[in-house]
Amino acid sequence: MSFPTELRTARLLLRPWRAADAAGLQPILEANREHLGPWIPARVAEPVPVPALARRLADFGEKFAADREWRFAMLSRDERRIFGEVGLFPRDATGRVPFAHADRAELGYWLRVDATGQGIVTEAARAVLGVAAAMPAFSHIEIRCDGRNGPSVGVARRLGFHLAAPPSGAAEQSASSCDHSQIWISELV
């Protein structure tokens, strides 16, 4: 079972990223550098020139089509406004893996600062989780976030996820590296 390539909610259109989205996304990443920088990987959030960003987005689209990861552009229904991204990443106990080897999935998301506080991420995540729940390969969904990221933790709570133990090794790391990683879980039973 592959993920649908389009999901619609009351306010949003979710679809795979396209290289053509780069021109609209680049100024958003630039304007949100401080907002996103502490929380999501630089390879996703770092503003780069439009041609490089187009290649990054094309790669995301290829991985979507190959069922490697499903990154959705979070857009207004008319596709005139980019809000951010919501994605689902197949995992097993060791990390991210191809869908064929997954027994769970990781939910990830980011949102531009001027769209926060409106329930947009929660709405998008519910749509993605609705499809994930129908995938028999997944026993549960995880949200991995920094516990200091209050909005991300709030999304996990609103979606009914519960806080699990810290990732293995986090207790040892926290004394030296100030690791604040959290794993939130929603069972798919």
Yes or no: domain 7-187 corresponds to CATH 3.40.630.30: yes
pLDDT tens per residue, range 126-159: 999 999 998 888 999 999 999 999 999 999 999 9
Gap between the Cα atoms of 45 and 8, Å rounded: 24
Report which of residues 105 and 2 the model is more confident about: 105
Residue in 104, 182, 176 with CA at minimum distance from that of residue 138: 104
Gap between the Cα atoms of 117 and 74, Å rounded: 15
- Token pair of 34, please? 């401080």
- Token pair of 96, please? 């991210």
Residue 111 has pLDDT above 90, yes or no: yes
Cβ distance 123 to 157 under 8 Å? no
> Minimum mean pLDDT among 7-11, 93-97, 171-175: which range?
171-175
Residue partners of 151: CB distance under 8 A and separation at least 6:
111, 116, 121
| 3-class SS shares of the chain: helix, strand, coil, % to 5 | 40, 25, 35
**pLDDT attached to residue 1:** 57
Q: Is this model's pTM higher than 0.75 or not?
A: yes
Cβ distance 154 to 45 under 8 Å? no
Residue partners of 24: CB distance under 8 A and separation at least 6:
82
Q: How far is CA 66 from CA 5, 99, 132, in A?
A: 12, 9, 16
**pLDDT attached to residue 59:** 96
Gap between the Cα atoms of 143 and 134, Å rounded: 18
Which helix or strand (DSSP H or E) is residue 89 part of? Answer: strand 82-92
Average pLDDT over the chain reads: 90
pLDDT tens per residue, range 30-79: 999 999 988 888 887 788 999 999 999 999 999 999 999 999 999 999 99
Report which of residues 178 and 98 the model is more confident about: 98
Residue 176 has pLDDT above 60, yes or no: no
Grade residue 167 by pLDDT with cuts at 50, 70 and 90: low
